[in-house]
Homo-oligomer: A and B are copies of this chain.
Protein backbone atom coordinates (compact mmCIF):
# COMPACT_ATOMS: atom_id res chain seq x y z
CA UNK A 1 0.00 0.00 0.00
CA UNK A 2 1.21 3.39 -0.88
CA UNK A 3 2.43 5.44 2.00
CA UNK A 4 0.17 8.26 1.04
CA UNK A 5 -2.75 6.23 2.09
CA UNK A 6 -1.97 7.01 5.68
CA UNK A 7 -4.53 9.76 5.76
CA UNK A 8 -7.25 7.30 5.03
CA UNK A 9 -6.21 5.18 7.92
CA UNK A 10 -5.89 8.12 10.15
CA UNK A 11 -9.44 9.01 9.51
CA UNK A 12 -10.57 5.46 9.94
CA UNK A 13 -8.55 5.46 13.12
CA UNK A 14 -10.26 8.59 14.26
CA UNK A 15 -13.65 7.22 13.62
CA UNK A 16 -13.12 3.90 15.29
CA UNK A 17 -10.33 4.39 17.74
CA UNK A 18 -10.11 8.11 18.30
CA UNK A 19 -6.98 10.14 17.80
CA UNK A 20 -4.59 7.43 16.66
CA UNK A 21 -1.23 8.85 15.70
CA UNK A 22 -0.43 8.91 12.01
CA UNK A 23 1.37 6.00 10.44
CA UNK A 24 3.95 8.13 8.76
CA UNK A 25 5.08 9.85 11.89
CA UNK A 26 4.62 7.32 14.61
CA UNK A 27 6.58 4.34 13.36
CA UNK A 28 8.45 2.99 16.33
CA UNK A 29 12.11 3.86 16.39
CA UNK A 30 14.45 1.96 18.59
CA UNK A 31 16.58 4.25 20.69
CA UNK A 32 20.05 3.01 20.02
CA UNK A 33 23.20 3.45 18.01
CA UNK A 34 21.33 2.54 14.81
CA UNK A 35 18.88 5.32 15.31
CA UNK A 36 21.62 7.82 15.82
CA UNK A 37 23.30 6.71 12.62
CA UNK A 38 19.99 6.80 10.81
CA UNK A 39 19.44 10.41 11.78
CA UNK A 40 22.98 11.38 10.94
CA UNK A 41 22.69 9.67 7.56
CA UNK A 42 19.34 11.33 6.92
CA UNK A 43 20.68 14.76 7.73
CA UNK A 44 23.62 14.15 5.42
CA UNK A 45 21.42 12.87 2.60
CA UNK A 46 18.95 15.72 2.90
CA UNK A 47 21.71 18.28 2.97
CA UNK A 48 23.56 16.89 -0.03
CA UNK A 49 20.37 16.30 -1.97
CA UNK A 50 19.19 19.86 -1.52
CA UNK A 51 22.68 21.12 -2.21
CA UNK A 52 22.75 19.15 -5.46
CA UNK A 53 19.36 20.49 -6.51
CA UNK A 54 20.55 24.05 -5.85
CA UNK A 55 23.73 23.51 -7.83
CA UNK A 56 21.80 22.02 -10.72
CA UNK A 57 19.57 25.08 -10.63
CA UNK A 58 22.71 27.14 -11.20
CA UNK A 59 22.49 25.86 -14.78
CA UNK A 60 19.48 28.12 -15.17
CA UNK A 61 21.56 30.96 -13.83
CA UNK A 62 24.38 30.36 -16.27
CA UNK A 63 21.92 30.03 -19.14
CA UNK A 64 20.23 33.33 -18.30
CA UNK A 65 23.48 35.25 -17.72
CA UNK A 66 24.96 34.04 -20.96
CA UNK A 67 21.79 34.60 -22.95
CA UNK A 68 21.27 38.05 -21.53
CA UNK A 69 24.80 39.24 -22.23
CA UNK A 70 24.88 38.10 -25.85
CA UNK A 71 22.79 39.08 -28.84
CA UNK A 72 19.20 38.13 -29.49
CA UNK A 73 20.05 36.28 -32.67
CA UNK A 74 22.06 33.68 -30.74
CA UNK A 75 19.81 33.22 -27.72
CA UNK A 76 18.43 29.80 -28.58
CA UNK A 77 21.84 28.48 -29.44
CA UNK A 78 23.44 29.47 -26.15
CA UNK A 79 20.55 27.88 -24.34
CA UNK A 80 21.02 24.63 -26.23
CA UNK A 81 24.68 24.64 -25.27
CA UNK A 82 23.88 25.16 -21.63
CA UNK A 83 21.22 22.51 -21.71
CA UNK A 84 23.56 20.02 -23.28
CA UNK A 85 26.35 20.84 -20.83
CA UNK A 86 24.00 19.71 -18.12
CA UNK A 87 22.44 16.76 -19.96
CA UNK A 88 25.48 15.31 -21.67
CA UNK A 89 27.60 16.30 -18.70
CA UNK A 90 25.56 14.33 -16.18
CA UNK A 91 25.53 11.27 -18.39
CA UNK A 92 29.25 11.41 -19.12
CA UNK A 93 30.09 11.94 -15.48
CA UNK A 94 27.98 8.90 -14.69
CA UNK A 95 29.65 6.74 -17.32
CA UNK A 96 33.25 7.89 -17.03
CA UNK A 97 33.96 11.05 -15.06
CA UNK A 98 33.19 9.83 -11.58
CA UNK A 99 35.38 6.77 -12.04
CA UNK A 100 38.30 8.92 -13.11
CA UNK A 101 37.74 11.35 -10.27
CA UNK A 102 37.10 9.00 -7.36
CA UNK A 103 38.15 5.57 -8.63
CA UNK A 104 41.14 3.69 -7.22
CA UNK A 105 44.06 6.01 -7.90
CA UNK A 106 46.74 5.32 -10.45
CA UNK A 107 49.70 7.15 -8.96
CA UNK A 108 47.63 10.03 -7.67
CA UNK A 109 46.84 11.13 -11.23
CA UNK A 110 43.55 9.55 -12.13
CA UNK A 111 41.04 7.03 -10.86
CA UNK A 112 40.35 3.73 -12.49
CA UNK A 113 37.12 2.16 -11.36
CA UNK A 114 33.55 2.93 -10.36
CA UNK A 115 32.56 3.69 -13.94
CA UNK A 116 28.80 3.59 -14.44
CA UNK A 117 28.60 3.58 -10.65
CA UNK A 118 29.27 -0.13 -10.76
CA UNK A 119 30.23 -1.21 -7.26
CA UNK A 120 29.60 -4.93 -7.19
CA UNK A 121 28.92 -6.21 -3.75
CA UNK A 122 28.20 -2.86 -2.14
CA UNK A 123 24.94 -2.74 -0.29
CA UNK A 124 24.62 0.78 0.97
CA UNK A 125 24.50 2.24 -2.50
CA UNK A 126 22.56 5.26 -1.25
CA UNK A 127 25.80 6.62 0.10
CA UNK A 128 27.44 6.38 -3.31
CA UNK A 129 24.37 7.77 -5.00
CA UNK A 130 24.05 10.89 -2.93
CA UNK A 131 27.72 11.64 -3.19
CA UNK A 132 27.71 11.08 -6.93
CA UNK A 133 24.71 13.35 -7.22
CA UNK A 134 26.45 16.20 -5.47
CA UNK A 135 29.67 15.70 -7.43
CA UNK A 136 27.94 15.35 -10.79
CA UNK A 137 26.35 18.77 -10.67
CA UNK A 138 29.77 20.23 -9.98
CA UNK A 139 31.09 18.62 -13.14
CA UNK A 140 28.21 20.10 -15.11
CA UNK A 141 29.02 23.50 -13.61
CA UNK A 142 32.65 23.35 -14.71
CA UNK A 143 31.44 22.45 -18.20
CA UNK A 144 28.89 25.20 -18.55
CA UNK A 145 31.28 28.02 -17.71
CA UNK A 146 32.87 27.75 -21.11
CA UNK A 147 29.81 28.31 -23.25
CA UNK A 148 29.64 31.99 -22.39
CA UNK A 149 33.20 32.75 -23.44
CA UNK A 150 32.73 30.91 -26.73
CA UNK A 151 29.27 32.28 -27.38
CA UNK A 152 27.90 33.57 -30.68
CA UNK A 153 30.40 31.84 -32.97
CA UNK A 154 30.94 28.20 -31.99
CA UNK A 155 29.43 25.28 -33.88
CA UNK A 156 26.93 23.32 -31.88
CA UNK A 157 28.36 19.91 -32.72
CA UNK A 158 31.88 21.05 -31.89
CA UNK A 159 30.60 22.32 -28.58
CA UNK A 160 28.96 18.98 -27.87
CA UNK A 161 32.30 17.25 -28.25
CA UNK A 162 33.86 19.73 -25.85
CA UNK A 163 31.06 19.14 -23.30
CA UNK A 164 31.74 15.46 -23.34
CA UNK A 165 35.51 15.76 -23.02
CA UNK A 166 35.49 18.19 -20.11
CA UNK A 167 33.00 16.21 -18.01
CA UNK A 168 34.53 12.85 -18.86
CA UNK A 169 38.19 13.78 -18.65
CA UNK A 170 39.52 17.29 -18.10
CA UNK A 171 37.56 18.12 -14.97
CA UNK A 172 37.63 14.65 -13.39
CA UNK A 173 41.41 14.54 -13.58
CA UNK A 174 41.67 17.87 -11.77
CA UNK A 175 39.14 16.51 -9.32
CA UNK A 176 41.16 13.38 -8.75
CA UNK A 177 44.32 15.35 -7.98
CA UNK A 178 42.49 17.19 -5.26
CA UNK A 179 39.16 15.98 -3.88
CA UNK A 180 39.92 12.49 -5.15
CA UNK A 181 42.93 12.29 -2.84
CA UNK A 182 45.54 12.65 -5.60
CA UNK A 183 48.91 14.36 -5.53
CA UNK A 184 47.70 17.91 -4.94
CA UNK A 185 45.62 16.78 -2.03
CA UNK A 186 48.61 15.01 -0.59
CA UNK A 187 50.64 18.20 -0.86
CA UNK A 188 48.01 19.83 1.35
CA UNK A 189 46.25 21.86 -1.31
CA UNK A 190 42.98 23.16 0.00
CA UNK A 191 40.00 24.28 -2.01
CA UNK A 192 36.79 23.90 -0.03
CA UNK A 193 34.15 24.05 -2.75
CA UNK A 194 36.21 24.51 -5.89
CA UNK A 195 37.49 28.01 -6.67
CA UNK A 196 40.25 26.36 -8.61
CA UNK A 197 38.93 22.86 -9.06
CA UNK A 198 35.62 23.81 -10.59
CA UNK A 199 35.76 27.47 -11.54
CA UNK A 200 39.32 27.93 -12.71
CA UNK A 201 39.11 24.69 -14.64
CA UNK A 202 36.10 26.05 -16.44
CA UNK A 203 37.64 29.49 -16.74
CA UNK A 204 40.93 28.34 -18.24
CA UNK A 205 39.16 26.04 -20.66
CA UNK A 206 37.14 29.10 -21.63
CA UNK A 207 40.37 31.04 -22.15
CA UNK A 208 41.79 28.36 -24.40
CA UNK A 209 38.52 28.16 -26.30
CA UNK A 210 38.24 31.90 -26.82
CA UNK A 211 41.81 32.11 -28.06
CA UNK A 212 41.59 29.21 -30.51
CA UNK A 213 38.20 30.36 -31.72
CA UNK A 214 39.07 34.01 -32.29
CA UNK A 215 36.87 37.02 -31.70
CA UNK A 216 33.36 37.60 -32.94
CA UNK A 217 33.15 39.41 -36.23
CA UNK A 218 32.93 43.11 -35.61
CA UNK A 219 34.42 42.99 -32.13
CA UNK A 220 37.93 44.16 -32.99
CA UNK A 221 37.89 46.27 -36.11
CA UNK A 222 41.15 47.02 -37.82
CA UNK A 223 41.38 50.20 -39.82
CA UNK A 224 44.54 52.06 -40.78
CA UNK A 225 46.61 49.59 -38.81
CA UNK A 226 44.80 50.46 -35.59
CA UNK A 227 42.44 48.10 -33.88
CA UNK A 228 39.28 49.59 -32.44
CA UNK A 229 37.46 47.65 -29.76
CA UNK A 230 33.70 47.68 -30.29
CA UNK A 231 30.95 46.86 -27.87
CA UNK A 232 28.51 44.15 -28.93
CA UNK A 233 25.92 44.76 -26.25
CA UNK A 234 23.91 41.99 -24.66
CA UNK A 235 20.26 41.92 -25.54
CA UNK A 236 18.54 41.29 -22.23
CA UNK A 237 20.01 42.74 -19.06
CA UNK A 238 17.02 41.79 -16.85
CA UNK A 239 17.51 38.16 -17.84
CA UNK A 240 21.21 38.40 -17.06
CA UNK A 241 20.39 39.90 -13.67
CA UNK A 242 17.94 37.13 -12.98
CA UNK A 243 20.67 34.66 -13.83
CA UNK A 244 23.01 36.28 -11.34
CA UNK A 245 20.42 36.08 -8.57
CA UNK A 246 19.77 32.44 -9.42
CA UNK A 247 23.50 31.76 -9.24
CA UNK A 248 23.79 33.53 -5.90
CA UNK A 249 20.92 31.42 -4.60
CA UNK A 250 22.39 28.21 -6.01
CA UNK A 251 25.79 29.04 -4.61
CA UNK A 252 24.47 28.42 -1.10
CA UNK A 253 24.10 24.83 -2.23
CA UNK A 254 27.49 24.90 -3.90
CA UNK A 255 29.40 26.16 -0.87
CA UNK A 256 26.99 25.10 1.84
CA UNK A 257 26.66 21.55 0.53
CA UNK A 258 30.42 21.25 0.37
CA UNK A 259 30.53 20.59 4.08
CA UNK A 260 29.37 17.21 2.73
CA UNK A 261 27.42 16.74 5.92
CA UNK A 262 24.27 18.18 7.36
CA UNK A 263 25.69 17.73 10.83
CA UNK A 264 28.37 20.37 10.61
CA UNK A 265 28.21 23.72 12.34
CA UNK A 266 30.51 25.17 9.66
CA UNK A 267 27.39 25.51 7.53
CA UNK A 268 26.67 28.71 9.42
CA UNK A 269 29.92 30.47 8.65
CA UNK A 270 29.90 29.18 5.08
CA UNK A 271 26.55 30.83 4.43
CA UNK A 272 27.65 34.10 6.00
CA UNK A 273 30.90 34.38 4.08
CA UNK A 274 29.23 33.32 0.84
CA UNK A 275 26.62 36.04 1.18
CA UNK A 276 29.07 38.74 2.23
CA UNK A 277 31.68 37.99 -0.42
CA UNK A 278 29.03 38.26 -3.12
CA UNK A 279 27.94 41.59 -1.68
CA UNK A 280 31.55 42.74 -1.58
CA UNK A 281 32.07 41.67 -5.17
CA UNK A 282 29.10 43.70 -6.35
CA UNK A 283 30.24 46.78 -4.48
CA UNK A 284 33.83 46.40 -5.67
CA UNK A 285 32.96 45.96 -9.33
CA UNK A 286 30.37 48.73 -9.30
CA UNK A 287 32.75 51.18 -7.69
CA UNK A 288 35.65 50.48 -9.99
CA UNK A 289 33.48 50.61 -13.09
CA UNK A 290 32.15 53.95 -11.86
CA UNK A 291 35.67 55.27 -11.40
CA UNK A 292 37.00 53.92 -14.68
CA UNK A 293 34.06 54.52 -17.03
CA UNK A 294 32.32 57.45 -15.34
CA UNK A 295 29.11 55.53 -14.73
CA UNK A 296 28.31 52.45 -12.65
CA UNK A 297 28.16 49.64 -15.18
CA UNK A 298 25.27 47.23 -14.74
CA UNK A 299 26.70 44.11 -16.33
CA UNK A 300 30.03 44.62 -14.56
CA UNK A 301 28.29 44.89 -11.21
CA UNK A 302 26.45 41.69 -11.99
CA UNK A 303 29.77 40.05 -12.87
CA UNK A 304 31.02 41.41 -9.55
CA UNK A 305 28.55 39.28 -7.61
CA UNK A 306 29.79 36.19 -9.39
CA UNK A 307 33.40 37.25 -8.91
CA UNK A 308 32.84 37.57 -5.16
CA UNK A 309 31.20 34.16 -5.07
CA UNK A 310 33.99 32.48 -7.01
CA UNK A 311 36.50 34.26 -4.81
CA UNK A 312 35.14 32.93 -1.52
CA UNK A 313 34.51 29.42 -2.78
CA UNK A 314 37.92 28.07 -1.84
CA UNK A 315 37.68 29.04 1.80
CA UNK A 316 34.18 29.94 2.97
CA UNK A 317 34.72 27.83 6.07
CA UNK A 318 38.03 29.34 7.18
CA UNK A 319 37.84 32.97 6.12
CA UNK A 320 36.21 35.19 8.76
CA UNK A 321 33.08 37.11 7.73
CA UNK A 322 34.83 40.46 7.89
CA UNK A 323 37.63 39.22 5.65
CA UNK A 324 35.16 37.63 3.29
CA UNK A 325 33.93 41.12 2.42
CA UNK A 326 37.51 42.03 1.58
CA UNK A 327 37.98 38.89 -0.50
CA UNK A 328 34.78 39.78 -2.35
CA UNK A 329 35.73 43.40 -2.97
CA UNK A 330 39.13 42.40 -4.33
CA UNK A 331 37.44 39.84 -6.60
CA UNK A 332 35.09 42.58 -7.79
CA UNK A 333 38.01 44.85 -8.64
CA UNK A 334 39.88 42.01 -10.29
CA UNK A 335 37.02 41.05 -12.55
CA UNK A 336 36.72 44.58 -13.93
CA UNK A 337 40.46 44.91 -14.47
CA UNK A 338 40.72 41.49 -16.00
CA UNK A 339 37.86 42.12 -18.43
CA UNK A 340 39.50 45.40 -19.43
CA UNK A 341 42.93 43.86 -19.99
CA UNK A 342 41.69 40.78 -21.81
CA UNK A 343 39.43 42.84 -24.03
CA UNK A 344 41.42 45.96 -24.73
CA UNK A 345 44.95 44.70 -24.47
CA UNK A 346 44.91 41.06 -25.49
CA UNK A 347 41.80 41.23 -27.64
CA UNK A 348 40.48 37.98 -26.25
CA UNK A 349 36.76 38.12 -26.91
CA UNK A 350 34.81 36.80 -23.94
CA UNK A 351 31.21 38.04 -24.34
CA UNK A 352 30.15 37.33 -20.78
CA UNK A 353 33.39 37.69 -18.83
CA UNK A 354 33.64 34.00 -17.96
CA UNK A 355 37.43 33.89 -18.07
CA UNK A 356 37.72 36.80 -15.67
CA UNK A 357 34.97 35.66 -13.31
CA UNK A 358 35.85 32.00 -13.11
CA UNK A 359 39.49 31.75 -14.18
CA UNK A 360 41.02 34.85 -12.62
CA UNK A 361 38.81 35.12 -9.54
CA UNK A 362 39.05 31.36 -9.06
CA UNK A 363 42.81 31.70 -8.81
CA UNK A 364 42.42 34.69 -6.50
CA UNK A 365 40.08 32.76 -4.24
CA UNK A 366 42.49 29.87 -3.98
CA UNK A 367 45.29 32.20 -2.97
CA UNK A 368 42.98 34.02 -0.58
CA UNK A 369 42.72 30.87 1.53
CA UNK A 370 46.46 31.09 1.96
CA UNK A 371 46.29 34.77 2.84
CA UNK A 372 43.17 35.05 5.00
CA UNK A 373 42.36 31.48 5.89
CA UNK A 374 45.58 30.04 7.14
CA UNK A 375 46.35 27.73 4.20
CA UNK A 376 49.93 27.23 2.96
CA UNK A 377 50.22 29.91 0.30
CA UNK A 378 52.93 28.09 -1.61
CA UNK A 379 50.92 24.91 -1.99
CA UNK A 380 47.98 26.99 -3.12
CA UNK A 381 50.16 28.52 -5.83
CA UNK A 382 51.27 25.08 -6.94
CA UNK A 383 47.64 24.02 -7.22
CA UNK A 384 46.63 27.07 -9.21
CA UNK A 385 49.53 26.63 -11.62
CA UNK A 386 49.06 22.88 -12.01
CA UNK A 387 45.37 23.22 -12.83
CA UNK A 388 46.11 26.09 -15.19
CA UNK A 389 48.72 24.05 -17.03
CA UNK A 390 46.66 20.87 -17.28
CA UNK A 391 43.53 22.66 -18.42
CA UNK A 392 45.20 24.96 -20.90
CA UNK A 393 47.16 22.15 -22.50
CA UNK A 394 44.29 19.70 -22.82
CA UNK A 395 41.81 22.38 -23.86
CA UNK A 396 44.18 23.76 -26.49
CA UNK A 397 44.63 20.27 -27.90
CA UNK A 398 40.87 19.65 -27.85
CA UNK A 399 39.90 22.94 -29.49
CA UNK A 400 42.86 22.66 -31.88
CA UNK A 401 41.61 19.32 -33.14
CA UNK A 402 38.06 20.63 -33.44
CA UNK A 403 39.38 23.55 -35.43
CA UNK A 404 41.44 21.31 -37.68
CA UNK A 405 38.43 19.15 -38.54
CA UNK A 406 36.32 22.28 -39.09
CA UNK A 407 33.97 21.62 -36.23
CA UNK A 408 34.83 24.66 -34.17
CA UNK A 409 33.61 27.86 -35.75
CA UNK A 410 30.59 28.67 -37.83
CA UNK A 411 31.05 30.43 -41.15
CA UNK A 412 31.01 34.20 -41.33
CA UNK A 413 27.66 34.10 -43.10
CA UNK A 414 26.17 31.94 -40.34
CA UNK A 415 27.61 34.21 -37.68
CA UNK A 416 26.03 37.25 -39.31
CA UNK A 417 22.71 35.54 -39.66
CA UNK A 418 22.84 34.40 -36.07
CA UNK A 419 23.31 30.89 -34.77
CA UNK A 420 19.63 30.48 -33.96
CA UNK A 421 18.79 30.43 -37.63
CA UNK A 422 21.91 28.81 -38.97
CA UNK A 423 22.31 26.10 -36.35
CA UNK A 424 18.74 25.50 -35.24
CA UNK A 425 16.60 26.98 -37.98
CA UNK A 426 14.53 29.08 -35.62
CA UNK A 427 14.26 32.46 -33.98
CA UNK A 428 14.16 32.95 -30.24
CA UNK A 429 11.95 36.02 -30.19
CA UNK A 430 9.33 35.26 -32.80
CA UNK A 431 7.46 38.40 -33.72
CA UNK A 432 9.71 40.89 -31.96
CA UNK A 433 11.25 43.46 -34.19
CA UNK A 434 14.95 43.45 -33.56
CA UNK A 435 17.64 45.56 -35.16
CA UNK A 436 20.04 43.14 -36.64
CA UNK A 437 22.65 45.47 -37.98
CA UNK A 438 25.46 44.05 -35.93
Contacts and interface: CB of A to CB of B under 8 A. Distances in A.
B434 A431 contact: yes
Task: Give the interface SS of chain A, mostly helix, strand, loop or mixed.
Answer: helix
Contact of A25 (B44, B49, B88, B249): B44
A47 B271 CA distance: 12
- Which of A5, A84, A103, A325 has the most B CB atoms < 10 Å from its CB? A5
A381 interface: no
Interface string A229-267: 000011111110110111011001100100011111111
Contacts of A275: 52, 56, 90, 133, 136-137
A7 B181 CA distance: 9
A329 to B, nearest CB: 9
A46 B42 CA distance: 12
Contacts of A88: 279, 283
A8 B79 CA distance: 35
Contacts of A276: 90-91, 94
A127 B11 contact: no
Q: Number of contact residues on A: which range applies? A: 35 or more
Given A43-B39, A83-B305, A236 B5 contact: no
Contact of A430 (B71, B423, B425, B428): B71
A269 B5 CA distance: 21
Contacts of A104: 8, 11-12, 15
Interface stretch (A114-122, A358-366, A402-410): A114-122
Contact of A263 (B42, B83, B156, B423): B42
Contacts of A19: 121-123
Given A252-B49, A279-B88, A298 B265 contact: no
A87 interface: yes
A294 B25 CA distance: 49
A155 to B, nearest CB: 11
A268 interface: yes
Nearest to A80: B298
Interface stretch (A28-36, A212-220, A334-342): A28-36
Given A33-B31, A37-B26, A104-B12, A268 B179 contact: no
B236 A121 contact: no
A419 to B, nearest CB: 11
Interface in A103-143: 103-105, 111, 113-114, 116-117, 119, 121-133, 135-137
Nearest to A9: B181
Interface in A137-196: 137, 156, 178-181, 185, 190
13 contacts: A1-B181, A2-B178, A11-B113, A21-B127, A25-B124, A39-B263, A53-B256, A79-B298, A83-B282, A87-B279, A132-B272, A431-B438, A433-B435
Given A50-B50, A80-B301, 4 more contacts: A42-B43, A129-B269, A238-B239, A429-B432
